[in-house]
A and B are shown apart, each in its own frame.
Chain A
Amino acid sequence: MPSGSLLLQGLALGVLTGGLYALLSSGLSLYFGVMRVVMVAHPAFLFLAAYLTYSLHNKAGLDPLLTILVTVPLFFAAGVAIQRLLIARLAAETMAMMSVLLTFAMALVIEGTLGAVYTGSFRSINPEYATKSLDLFGTQLPYDRLIGFGMAALTLAALFVLLKVTRFGRSLRATIQHPQAARLVGIKTERVTGLGFGVGLATAAVGGAVLAIITPFFPAAHWAWIGKLMAIIVVGGLGSVQGAAIAALLLGVVESLVLVTVDATWATMMFYIFLFLTLLVRPQGFFGGRLAQRF
């Protein structure tokens, strides 16, 4: 039985990792909400952002966290373009399946291109502040994790304000809840959907910058994240941003505790066990609203 301090350390790290997971999966909830699209390429875009951060840091000398000033607008525009030019072309009846395949194709294109440009070897960014730890009540909290958690909290707070307070957020939520009714009250749902996609991809730009300082990365790294992030949004309830955030924290803590008590294989396996149990017991997810029930 591991000691109490080890468990406390695991719990603390779990919360920090869970916060990061919440940021990384928030985009997926948005895509699913506005278009019922499972965006398999989201993790690939995360690592694309990580590589862009790497290049901007090494070539232009930008601080890794400041690179989001460049990548966020870029990814937002790319997201709008992808939705308007590609995904909107798919036939409505086969949208669920075909969109998966289309975004899967995007993931392959991104991975192949990253491999060709940056080679397959590991890259990492180690700014000075990311190598130290904060000692708090006997637990070691690495600064890079704390920064990641902070960035996640800020981004999710901004997303929350955007969705709840602004006029765009209201029309976006209306589009998610009932597209026909939203159209009837005069919302331009096509435009809103495109912008929603852009916002989702913009979160990938922030997530990529955070990933880049926390972990070494390589072009094929996104595969390991697809399953994890998908498990989070299913447990949370497809299409619910809050649900995914709660599930992310929960799974982050569970993973971390299993990691310190058992081993790394079972820690990752927890995601798939939770996913299968959720589908057996409550296919609509545990924290989602009414929307998730239809899937």
Chain B
Amino acid sequence: MTGLGRRFGKPALVLLGAALIASYPWLVPNSYLVYAGVLTMMFAGLATSWNLVGGFTGYVSLGHSAFFGLGAYGTGLLITRAGWPWVLSIVAAGLGVGVFAVIVGIAAMRVRGASFVIVSIALVAAVNLLAQGWRSLTGGSVGLRVPTQYGELTRLEAHYLFFYLFMGLLALTLLTWWFMDRSRFGTGLKAIREDEDKAESLGVPTAGFKVVAFALSALFVAFGGGLYAVWFRNLDPIFVFSILIGSYMVLMSLLGGVRYLFGPLLGAAIVAPAGEFFLLRLGETQIHLTAMGLLLGVVVLFMPEGIIPAVAKLFGLRRPPAASIREDTAEQRATLEEAAVQ
């Protein structure tokens, strides 16, 4: 590759990809496929947000649907109860959830590994219970209806609008990931993933870093939830607070590859349409859950690093620095530890 190609090749490729994705709603023949596109775009954003904490720190949260649901309910309540405009509602609800996530993070990030997963499951169960129990505010298990916020638009036009809104959120999240990946903050988080005790002894402020990453991730997920509330307009507590949504984020990230910028996006592009397909084909029964479970099992057992390295390996394209620090050379490790010390 020439110098020019190396400098502009990658950004050009990303722009081309973005243009292709942006033209999707205009290329498909019917409104159902546009709807499925919005859903896929939403999950791509959620999974990428999840990866801000899951990918960098290695802390697997199965409870991120708590932040999704809180963002959605917060937005819905601000619109219906306080009469706020929807954009303001989404931003305010998202920021509120971000603050909440700081508090939760301080408690939850104290424990590691298995205990952390348990906490994240308990978090979503507790919030779900609250949403269903606090009937006077949330409408209980009946759910919350959000009045339409986009006046003249038809349902299909609203799908177009929200496709691009979700895409914008995804772009923002990807940009955040990209910046974090190159920052000392991101390097510190990766050090936590590889060996938390060592990172701490080298002076990485692990507790603070983890909480910030957790809250940042929750913030973007809550924005996604807010957009969902305005787009879908019918909030069912059992759906928005289900562990299933949280596990979708995990499955998508893992399938694509948690160490890659576009990993979760790739995973979402596979899992979300597959989920819709299973639902359409096998909808009557619950067998689509079985299909999803088998897919997750196969990913965990056979390609825990994701498709990207698996495919690259297949074609012999594997680049050396993509691996975990444990598989790195001593030289690379020294550089990283130096960065962590600084």
Contact = CB atoms under 8 A, between A and B. Distances in A.
Contacts of B108: 279
B106 to A, nearest CB: 9
Contact of B296 (A96, A104, A280): A104
A100 B297 CA distance: 11
Interface in B249-273: 250, 254
A106 B250 CA distance: 15
Contacts of B115: 234, 238, 279, 283, 295
A269 B129 contact: yes
Interface in A86-116: 86, 89-91, 93-94, 96-98, 100-102, 104-116
A245 to B, nearest CB: 18
20 contacts: A32-B114, A37-B114, A96-B113, A100-B117, A101-B60, A101-B296, A104-B62, A107-B293, A113-B290, A223-B242, A227-B121, A227-B126, A234-B118, A269-B129, A272-B122, A272-B123, A275-B122, A276-B107, A283-B115, A295-B112
A286 B84 CA distance: 46
Given A105-B297, A265-B132, A223 B118 contact: no
Interface stretch (B177-185, B281-289, B334-342): B281-289
Interface in B280-331: 285-294, 296-297, 300-301, 304, 326
B114 A36 contact: yes
A259 interface: no
Contacts of A276: 107, 119, 122
Contacts of A86: 297, 301
A105 B296 contact: yes
B287 A113 contact: yes
A15 B55 CA distance: 43
A27 interface: no
A109 B119 contact: no
A132 B329 CA distance: 70
B41 to A, nearest CB: 24
A45 to B, nearest CB: 13
Interface string B131-145: 011100000000000
B201 to A, nearest CB: 18
Given A102-B301, A295-B112, 20 more contacts: A90-B301, A96-B114, A97-B60, A100-B62, A101-B254, A102-B296, A105-B293, A105-B294, A105-B296, A105-B297, A112-B292, A115-B285, A227-B126, A234-B118, A263-B133, A268-B129, A269-B133, A276-B107, A279-B115, A295-B113
Given A97-B58, A101-B296, A116 B285 contact: yes
A109 B130 contact: no
Interface residues of A, number: 56
Interface string A68-102: 00000000000000000010011101101110111
Sorted from nearest, which 3 A-B pairs have the closest CB atoms? Answer: A115-B286, A108-B293, A265-B133
B107 A280 contact: yes
Interface in B45-94: 58, 60, 62
Nearest to B195: A93
A91 B304 contact: yes
Interface residues of B, number: 45
Contacts of B234: none
A230 interface: yes
Contacts of B132: 265
A152 interface: no
Contacts of A169: none
A108 B110 contact: no
A279 B107 CA distance: 7
A120 interface: yes
Given A115-B285, A227-B122, A279 B110 contact: yes
| Prevailing SS type, chain A contact patch | helix
A22 interface: no
B39 interface: no
Interface string B143-173: 0000000000000000000000000000000
A141 interface: no
Contact of B290 (A91, A97, A116, A220): A116
B218 interface: no
A276 to B, nearest CB: 6
A230 B118 contact: yes
A226 interface: yes
Nearest to A36: B114
B112 A115 contact: no
A95 B247 CA distance: 17
A211 interface: no
B101 interface: no
Nearest to B126: A272
Contact of B121 (A93, A226, A295): A226
B240 to A, nearest CB: 14
Interface in A120-153: 120
Given A90-B301, A102-B297, A269-B130, A108 B289 contact: yes
Interface in A218-240: 219-220, 223-224, 226-227, 230-231, 234, 238
A38 interface: yes
B125 interface: yes
Contacts of B294: 105, 109
